[in-house]
């Protein structure tokens, strides 16, 4: 397995994490998380770097660093700050139905990145979009796999069935992360894992960090299930628009396949997540309803934050990445 590149630091927090990953002495007193923006570039990259050893080896980083106490010590206050910011941003109640309701409607006059690309996108903006999404899509559904041992009964079986589809239903060439890599290559991008982390801004990094945080903490399993449900329910309409956007640009068939696959698969997954995963989980553990609703709302809130960042940049005629993509 190819090692991922170690990204550049974006401030004192990510510098400290990077030092620990490289085997340098941990700071006697870690940099102050209380002074950092919990959604800012430095903290989000630092948190991402503490999580990444759970997924993939990184250049210059020993595999033993995955559970290094110094690394975990740096992670804990950053997770607490990030989680507090998410909880403060959205209502925290047990009304799962109300939390799901906005996801079940696709407004005709809505505004979003997929609509922008469908209506007026060019290859430059399409490539930017793919770079943003690469942080998650090249490990699609890996964070949610941690939920499987934390569930039981029908919820466990049905979530595993969704994951089975995400991982290609037994066919390596159909793994969704592989399909996304094919899409990137067809668009003229480097599909190497982690290749573009240095270009991806905090809003996109935060979405991946949230999934990982929910997956790694058993206490947040309800939020993790809510996050996964929100992704699967919201996916088909956007995927349809991306198919149209790529077809309008004359994209290769292998580029369109990733999104056409999601139009079909996620329409089924939506029903499975709602009827069999959520219903069974909440019947068994009704006390998790506030966390499930929180996971759904936090997912939508972070997605809105990312879309506003991207569209704001594009409307102003500038790149939405930290630096332009070099082909």
For residue 267, the model assigns a pLDDT of: 78
CA dihedral 5, 8, 12, 14 (to 10 degrees): -30
Question: Which of 19, 130, 96 minimizes the C-alpha distance to 282?
Answer: 96
Q: Per mean pLDDT, which range of 58-72, 104-118, 295-309 is the poorest?
A: 104-118
The residue among 71, 88, 105 that closes a domain is 88
**Predicted confidence band of residue 30 (pLDDT cuts 50, 70, 90):** low
Domain range for 77 is: 12-88
CATH number, position 284: 1.20.910.10
pLDDT, tens digit, for every residue of 71-97? 999 999 999 999 999 999 999 899 999
User: Do 183 and 150 share a structural domain?
Assistant: yes
Query: How many domains in the chain?
Result: 2
Question: Which of 49, 42, 51 minimizes the C-alpha distance to 22?
Answer: 49
pTM for the predicted model, two decimal places: 0.96
Q: Is 259 within a domain?
A: yes
User: Do 37 and 129 share a structural domain?
Assistant: no
* DSSP state, residue 167: T
User: Do 189 and 116 share a structural domain?
Assistant: yes
Answer yes or no: is pLDDT of 205 > 80: yes
How far apart (Å, rounded) are the C-alpha atoms in residues 41 and 209?
12
User: Do 293 and 187 share a structural domain?
Assistant: yes
The string over 243-271, giving b where at least 16 C-beta atoms fall within 10 Å of a residue's C-beta and e elsewhere, is bbbbeeeebeeebbbbbbbbbebbbebbe
- Do residues 14 and 45 make contact, with C-beta atoms less than 8 angstroms apart? yes
pLDDT, tens digit, for every residue of 206-239? 999 999 999 999 999 999 999 999 999 988 899 9
């Amino acid at each position: 397995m190819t090692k991922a590149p170690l990204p550049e630091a974006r401030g004192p927090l990510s510098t400290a994490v990077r030092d620990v990953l490289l085997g340098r002495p941990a700071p006697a007193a870690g940099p102050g998380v209380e002074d950092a923006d919990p959604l800012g570039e430095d903290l989000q990259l630092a948190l991402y770097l503490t999580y990444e050893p759970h997924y993939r080896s990184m250049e210059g980083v020993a595999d033993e660093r995955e559970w290094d106490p110094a690394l975990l010590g740096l992670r804990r206050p950053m997770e607490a700050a990030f989680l507090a910011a998410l909880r403060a941003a959205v209502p925290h109640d047990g009304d799962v139905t109300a939390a799901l309701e906005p996801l079940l409607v696709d407004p005709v006059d809505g505004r979003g990145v997929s609509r922008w690309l469908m209506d007026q996108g060019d290859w430059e903006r399409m490539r930017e979009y793919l770079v943003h999404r690469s942080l998650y899509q090249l490990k699609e559904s890996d964070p949610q796999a941690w939920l499987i041992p934390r569930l039981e009964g029908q919820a466990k079986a049905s979530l595993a069935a969704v994951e089975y589809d995400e991982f290609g239903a037994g066919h390596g060439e159909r793994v969704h992360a592989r399909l996304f890599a094919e899409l990137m290559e067809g668009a003229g991008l480097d599909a190497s894992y982690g290749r573009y982390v240095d270009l991806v801004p905090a809003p996109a990094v935060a979405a991946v960090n949230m999934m990982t945080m929910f997956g790694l903490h058993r206490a947040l399993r309800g939020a993790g299930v809510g996050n996964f449900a929100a992704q699967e329910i919201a996916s088909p309409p956007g995927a349809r628009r991306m198919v149209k956007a790529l077809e309008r640009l004359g994209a290769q068939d292998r580029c369109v396949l990733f999104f056409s696959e999601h139009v079909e698969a996620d329409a089924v997954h939506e029903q499975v997540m709602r009827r069999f995963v959520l219903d069974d989980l909440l019947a068994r553990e009704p006390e998790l309803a506030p966390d499930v609703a929180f996971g759904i709302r936090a997912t939508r809130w972070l997605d809105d934050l990312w879309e506003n960042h991207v569209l704001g940049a594009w409307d102003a005629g500038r790149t939405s990445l930290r630096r332009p993509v070099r082909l």
